[in-house]
Amino acid sequence: MDHKLFKKDVRFGEWLIQKLLLVAGISSMLIIALIFVFLFKEAVRFFGTANPLDLIGKWTYDDWEGHYVFKMMWQSISEVPKYSLLPLICGSFLVAFPATIISGVLGIGCAIYLSELAPPRVREILKPTLELLAGIPSVVIGFVMLAFIATFAQNIFHTKFRLNAFVGSLGVALAVLPIMITIAEDAMRAVPKELRDASYALGATKWQTVWGTVVPAAVSGISAAIILGFGRALGETMIVLMATGNAALVTGNIFSSVRTMTANIAAELGSVAQGSEHYYALFLVGAVLFTFTFGLNLVSELVLNKMRQKLRM
Amino acid sequence: MDQALSLNLPKLTSRRILWNEIVSDVLVRFFALIPLSALAFIMYMIVRKGAGTITWHFLTQMPLNGMTEGGIFPCIFGTLAITLMMILMALPLGVAAAIYLTEFSGHGMFFRVIRAAVNNLAGVPSIVFGLFGVGFFILFVGRNLDHVLKTGMLFGQPCMLWAAATLAVLVLPVIIVSTEEALNAVPQSQRSASLALGATKWQTIWNVVLPQARGGILTGAILSISRGAGETAPILFTGCAYFLPRLPVVHLFGVIPIVNPFDQFMELSYHIFIMATQSLDAVKTLPIQYGTTLVLISLTFLLNLTAIVFRIHFRKKMGTVSI
- What residue ranges do the domains of chain A occupy? 1-44, 85-312
- pLDDT of B302 > 80? The answer is yes
Report the candidate in B225, B206, B186 with the shortest Cα–Cα distance to residue B317: B186
Q: Closest chain A residue to B166 measured between Cα atoms?
A: A31
Measured between alpha carbons, how far is A106 from A226 in angstroms, rounded to an integer? 11
Q: How confident is the model at residue A4 (pLDDT cuts 50, 70, 90)?
A: low
How many cross-chain Cβ pairs, A to B, lie less than 8 Å apart? 269
Report the residue from A29, A142, A282 with minimal CB separation from B113: A29
Structure confidence by residue, pLDDT tens digits, B22-56: 888 999 999 999 999 999 999 999 999 989 888 88
Structure confidence by residue, pLDDT tens digits, A76-120: 777 778 888 889 999 999 999 999 999 999 999 999 999 999 999
- CATH level 3 topology of A85-312: MetI-like fold (1.10.3720)
Residue B135 near chain A (CB below 8 Å): yes
- pLDDT value of residue B1: 42
CA distances from residue B274 to A103, B47, B232 in whole angstroms, order as listed: 28, 20, 11
Are the C-beta atoms of residues A285 and A85 closer than 8 Å to each other?
Answer: yes
Report the candidate in B242, B270, B266, B233 with the shortest Cα–Cα distance to residue A265: B233
Structure confidence by residue, pLDDT tens digits, A156-180: 888 888 888 899 999 999 999 999 9
Residue A44 near chain B (CB below 8 Å): no
Structure confidence by residue, pLDDT tens digits, B96-150: 999 999 988 878 888 888 988 998 999 999 999 999 999 999 989 998 988 888 8
Which B residues in the span 34-93 are in contact with A, Cβ-Cβ below 8 Å?
Answer: 34-36, 38-39, 42, 45-46, 92-93
Structure confidence by residue, pLDDT tens digits, B258-296: 888 888 899 999 999 998 888 777 778 888 899 999 999
Measured between alpha carbons, how far is B8 from A254 in angstroms, rounded to an integer? 38
- pLDDT value of residue B270: 93
Separation in Å, CA of A79 to nearest CA in chain B: 25
One-letter amino acid at B288 equals: I
Separation in Å, CA of A68 to nearest CA in chain B: 35
CB contact under 8 A, A110 and B34: yes
> For residue A60, what are the contacts with CB-CB under 8 A and spacing of at least 6?
A68, A69, A70, A71, A80, A82
Measured between alpha carbons, how far is A201 from B86 in angstroms, rounded to an integer? 55
- pLDDT value of residue B70: 81
The end-to-end CA distance of chain B, in Å, is 45
Residues of A in contact with B94 (CB under 8 A): 24
- pLDDT of B9 > 60? The answer is no
Q: What share of chain B is helix, strand, coil (3-state, %, to 5)?
A: 70, 5, 25
- pLDDT value of residue B2: 46
CA distances from residue B250 to A58, B164, B254, B287 in whole angstroms, order as listed: 51, 17, 8, 32
For the B67-318 domain, the top CATH level (class) is mainly alpha
Residue A142 near chain B (CB below 8 Å): yes
Tell me, what DSSP letter sits at residue A191? S
Collapsing DSSP to helix, strand or coil, A257 comes out as coil
Average pLDDT, chain B: 87
Measured between alpha carbons, how far is A110 from A133 in angstroms, rounded to an integer? 14
One-letter amino acid at B175 equals: I
Which A residues in the span 57-96 are in contact with B, Cβ-Cβ below 8 Å?
Answer: none
Report the residue from B35, B105, B140 with minimal CB separation from A38: B140
State what percent of residues in chain A have pLDDT above 90: 51
Q: How confident is the model at residue B3 (pLDDT cuts 50, 70, 90)?
A: very low
Are the C-beta atoms of residues A70 and A58 closer than 8 Å to each other?
Answer: yes
H/E run at residue B259: strand B256-259
Separation in Å, CA of A24 to nearest CA in chain B: 5
Report the residue from B38, B134, B233 with minimal CB separation from A133: B38
Structure confidence by residue, pLDDT tens digits, A209-219: 999 999 999 99
Q: How confident is the model at residue B315 (pLDDT cuts 50, 70, 90)?
A: confident
CA distances from residue A75 to A52, A60, A270, B141 in whole angstroms, order as listed: 16, 12, 16, 32
Separation in Å, CA of A18 to nearest CA in chain B: 8
- pLDDT of B322 > 60? The answer is no
Q: How confident is the model at residue B7 (pLDDT cuts 50, 70, 90)?
A: very low
Residues B246-283: b if buried by 16+ CB within 10 A, e if exposed: ebbeeeeeeeeeebbbbbbbbbbbbbbbbbbbebeeee
A36-54 average pLDDT score: 86
Residue B16 near chain A (CB below 8 Å): no
Which A residues in the span 213-242 are in contact with B, Cβ-Cβ below 8 Å?
Answer: 228, 231-232, 234-238, 241-242
- pLDDT value of residue A94: 93
Report the residue from B21, B124, B231 with minimal CB separation from A290: B124
Q: Closest chain B residue to A145 measured between Cα atoms?
A: B42
What is this model's ipTM?
A: 0.90
Residues of A in contact with B42 (CB under 8 A): 136, 140-141, 144
B169-192 average pLDDT score: 92
Residue A7 near chain B (CB below 8 Å): no
Residues of A in contact with B46 (CB under 8 A): 140, 144
Q: How confident is the model at residue B321 (pLDDT cuts 50, 70, 90)?
A: very low
Mutation pick from A6, A16, A27, A179 vs chain B, by most beta carbons of B within 10 Å, is: A27
CB contact under 8 A, B25 and A293: no
- pLDDT value of residue B6: 44
Residues of A in contact with B323 (CB under 8 A): 123-124, 127-128
